[in-house]
């Protein structure tokens, strides 16, 4: 009798990248395609930022930001969670090592669940889930990302200028890539996906293709190692 084949373990897929690169849209699409639980880790930082904002706390004070990590019950439908002031605060406080440490456990717990997971953020493949079977680093040029962010703001009824949005993109990139705790960078084994010249459907299709290709390679390697 032929031996039973080992059941494929649901994968962990890490999706990282800078602001407005398309990583959130791609991560959600991958979660739907592979029927995996999804976490937007940026919402955790936004929840902290929203707490701080509502308390009238100082984003420039790491201790106050850490205190805001205490209770993170939040409503995903709350429009303030995705408001621009909260987004700006979240970008600032995410550079604090104590804030990142305070949110680390719940992200890692989500990544380690037996049913697999898709997580989207800035340090998933390097810190939260370095053992992920697939690591995508989604990027695009600052100019393209600024156009996308501007359209997003306008769709929310907010008025903004391209030059201001581009300057904010550059500032966020600088904070994310130069912070001491978990700086934004591709993992050594990450697949870099540049979406600058891709529309939403093409970017998702390419992400699915690259993920399936990496998973097939991972499963072949595992079978070989098991003999």
pLDDT for position 223: 62
What is the CB neighbour count within 10 angstroms for residue 162?
12
- Contact assessment for residue 138 and residue 20, using Cβ atoms and an 8 Å cutoff: no
d(CA 57, CA 170): 25
- Alpha helices (H) in the chain, listed in sequence order: 23-33, 42-55, 62-67, 84-93, 97-111, 142-155, 162-178, 200-225
Average pLDDT value for residue range 162-167? 96
12-222 CATH fold:
Rossmann fold (3.40.50)
Q: Could you read off the pLDDT of 41-90 as tens digits, one per residue?
A: 999 999 999 999 999 999 999 999 999 998 777 787 788 898 888 989 99
- Contact assessment for residue 11 and residue 189, using Cβ atoms and an 8 Å cutoff: no
Whole-prediction pTM:
0.89
Token duo for residue 14: 């890490």
How many residues belong to the chain? 227
First to last CA, the chain: 17
Can you give the residue ranges of every domain in the chain? 12-222
């Amino acid at each position: 009798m032929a031996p039973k084949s080992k059941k494929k373990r649901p994968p962990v897929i890490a999706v990282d990248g800078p602001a407005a690169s398309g990583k959130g849209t791609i991560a959600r699409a991958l979660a739907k395609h592979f029927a995996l639980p999804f976490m937007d880790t940026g919402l955790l930082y936004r929840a902290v930022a929203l707490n701080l904002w509502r308390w009238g706390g100082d984003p420039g004070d790491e201790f106050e930001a850490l205190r805001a990590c205490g209770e993170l019950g939040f409503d995903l439908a709350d429009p303030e969670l995705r408001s621009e002031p909260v987004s700006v605060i979240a970008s600032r406080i995410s550079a604090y090592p104590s804030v990142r440490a305070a949110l680390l456990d719940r992200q890692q717990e989500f990544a380690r669940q037996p049913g697999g997971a898709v997580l989207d953020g800035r340090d998933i493949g390097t810190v939260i889930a370095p053992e992920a079977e697939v690591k995508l680093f989604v990027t695009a040029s600052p100019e393209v990302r600024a156009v996308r962010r501007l359209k997003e703001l306008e769709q929310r009824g907010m008025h903004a200028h391209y030059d201001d949005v581009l300057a904010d993109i550059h500032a966020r990139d600088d904070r994310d890539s130069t912070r001491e705790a978990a700086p934004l960078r591709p993992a050594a084994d990450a697949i870099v996906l540049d979406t600058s010249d891709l529309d939403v459907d093409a970017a998702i299709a390419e992400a699915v293709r690259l993920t399936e290709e990496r998973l097939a390679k991972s499963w072949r390697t595992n079978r070989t190692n098991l003999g």
